Structure 1
């Protein structure tokens, strides 16, 4: 069995750290023979710093499925050029602020006080202009108007909305966290971008009672995360 963990709002609640208690619970899963996957909206660049070194050797899925961390570094799925041009036209037409990611470099014009900016780790990455980004695998837009959103929904892309942060997250069509996961797994998540994980999982745990909770097998509070993980390690998780 393997376990798939979202990061922000699921096992990290400040955007910077994972508590020692939760870390130890995940290590316990590993010690009893389970495989661990971390699947996040974060690009790999921003996923690595929040994970202890032992967890960095696990399978890492970033950019809601557009990025993978492998032996040869970051593997990415990009928007096709014509689609990228249409996205850039909408950004320009509606004067939208954004965070665009390539496999490592990025382009950011949003408010530096926004929580998403605090999760960006430069680590040798450059903040460049949108038209200077070699390729684009993920686009986050801030304060999107209804008119702009209507235009975006006409495109062949995957769109996730995060009302709490007032952002729209755009990935290539068909890209989601569960796309490369095979076999039985147990998923932990908290937001709508975890829906595909919940629907594909043998068992799913939602942290908090957000909109995605209706797709989960079980709903817990953030205070129950470490205990719930330990229950699975002790073969009692699905019975509680």
Structure 2
């Protein structure tokens, strides 16, 4: 069986690398004959540093589906259409919004260095921070809406994009139209009902509804789409992983 894991808030916490306990549970799952796949909102660049080196060539989906990688090689990167980028830039200008905008590897960032997202940004210094106009392709966009959240959502929902609101971090996360984690998993050749999914947020919904079993970590509304739920607690996640690993052995 294939086991697909979101990272932040699911199997890694507070931006820290996978713990020894989680890593051991994943290795035990592999020993039971299962395949491990990672599916994160992070671009591949920021996904790699939280993984043990032994797992950095596993199949993975980054940027909520915009990046797809296998065996350490990026197979596909899906960028926004130029017209959509212009529309989003107009919204940024109108509301004077800080942002994190990812190209296929480098990034542009104007947000606060105190924001948690900054702490997870290119920790291995693999990329360059550049001006927005210097990014060739725009693959993922995060806006910091502040007090203008509702107004910004009204404007963004007019656009053909994949849009996620993360209220706990007060950010709005965007990917190109039709791009989500399930879309990325399909590009890896994964079939509906052929995997177990672990996640904790709205961007995990697309894979929850296609999984054989889906585990919501915590109390997010996406739990309504999951077949199973555990508290946002590392021990509970490990226990559930061990149980499912044995069940589908």
TM-score, normalization: structure 1?
Answer: 0.94
2:174 is matched with: 170
SS in 2 for 1:188: strand
- Could you tell me how far 1:148 is from its partner in structure 2? 2.1
- Could you tell me how far 1:124 is from its partner in structure 2? 2.9
Distance change (3 Å), C-alpha of 1:4 and 1:76: same
1:215 is matched with: 225
Quote the Cα distance in structure 2 between the aligned partners of 1:30 and 1:57: 14
SS in 2 for 1:136: coil
User: Matches of residues 119-138 of structure 1 in structure 2 within 5 Å?
Assistant: 119-121=120-122, 123-138=125-140
Of the structure 1 ranges 65-74 and 121-130, higher mean CA displacement relative to structure 2 is found in 65-74
Quote the Cα distance in structure 2 between the aligned partners of 1:58 and 1:236: 20
1:3 is matched with: 3
* Unaligned stretches of 5+ residues in structure 2: none
SS in 2 for 1:178: helix
Is the 1:107–1:127 contact (alpha carbons within 8 Å) kept by the matching residues of 2?
yes
Question: Number of residue pairs matched?
Answer: 237
2:239 is matched with: 227
2:142 is matched with: 140
SS in 2 for 1:22: helix
Of the structure 1 ranges 120-129 and 173-182, higher mean CA displacement relative to structure 2 is found in 120-129
1:12 to 2:7 alignment: no
User: Matches of residues 6-155 of structure 1 in structure 2 within 5 Å?
Assistant: 6-71=6-71, 73-74=73-74, 75-121=76-122, 123-143=125-145, 145=148, 146-155=150-159
TM-score, normalization: structure 2?
Answer: 0.91
Q: What is the CA RMSD across the aligned residues, in angstroms? A: 1.5
Of the structure 1 ranges 12-21 and 197-206, higher mean CA displacement relative to structure 2 is found in 12-21
1:199 to 2:187 alignment: no
Is the 2:107–2:135 contact (alpha carbons within 8 Å) kept by the matching residues of 1?
yes
- Could you tell me how far 1:71 is from its partner in structure 2? 5.0
- Could you tell me how far 1:90 is from its partner in structure 2? 1.1
Quote the Cα distance in structure 2 between the aligned partners of 1:54 and 1:71: 11
Quote the Cα distance in structure 2 between the aligned partners of 1:71 and 1:129: 31
1:190 is matched with: 200
* Unaligned stretches of 5+ residues in structure 1: none
Quote the Cα distance in structure 1 between the aligned partners of 2:226 and 2:240: 14
Moved over 6 A (4+): none
- Could you tell me how far 1:69 is from its partner in structure 2? 1.9
Quote the Cα distance in structure 1 between the aligned partners of 2:215 and 2:72: 32
Quote the Cα distance in structure 1 between the aligned partners of 2:133 and 2:153: 21
